[in-house]
Amino acid sequence: MSAQSMPEVNAEFGALPQIVFGEDQAPQGLRTVELVEGDGPVVRRGDTVTVNYHGVVWGSGKAFDSSFERHQPASFGIGVGQVIKGWDQSVPGHNVGSRLVVSIPPEYGYGSRGVPQAGIGGGDTLVFVIDIISTR
């Protein structure tokens, strides 16, 4: 998978993500790039995964949600509809210790409604940097 049209992100597991957008438009569809390949267990659908994440609207420098900034990782079931579809489809299959950059179009995110109170418009593509801390 090429990183073409994906933003540049520091490939350092555990570090606050720095996301730099180029001139490109958001890619079509759901895109996942593994910046760091972990050597821990593989995340499987139905697991409870613990992650640090940093989410921005494509082209924005400001996070709408970041467990990194809260210094509080998040845990939830993955692949079972507890989170947006883009997460359910991109996190399983990667190892604990991995850092992912995921570009999530609206149909895999918050849809045509968006989340106005978070500054997410209905047509916005989201970018998440996800560090997979553990899975069980």
pLDDT, tens digit, 9 for 90 and up, residues 5-56 = 899 999 999 999 999 999 889 999 999 999 999 999 999 999 999 999 999 9
In the chain, the number of structural domains is: 1
| Residue 56, in any domain of the structure | yes
**Torsion angles phi and psi, residue 25, rounded to 5:** -75, 160
121 and 114 in contact (C-beta within 8 Å)? yes
| pLDDT digit string, tens, across residues 60-84 | 989 999 999 999 999 999 999 999 9
Q: Which domain range does residue 85 map to?
A: 8-135
Cβ–Cβ under 8 Å, residues 25 and 73: no
**48, containing H or E segment:** strand 48-57
CATH number at residue 28: 3.10.50.40
In terms of Cβ atoms closer than 10 Å to its own Cβ (0-12, 13-18, 19+), residue 136 is: exposed
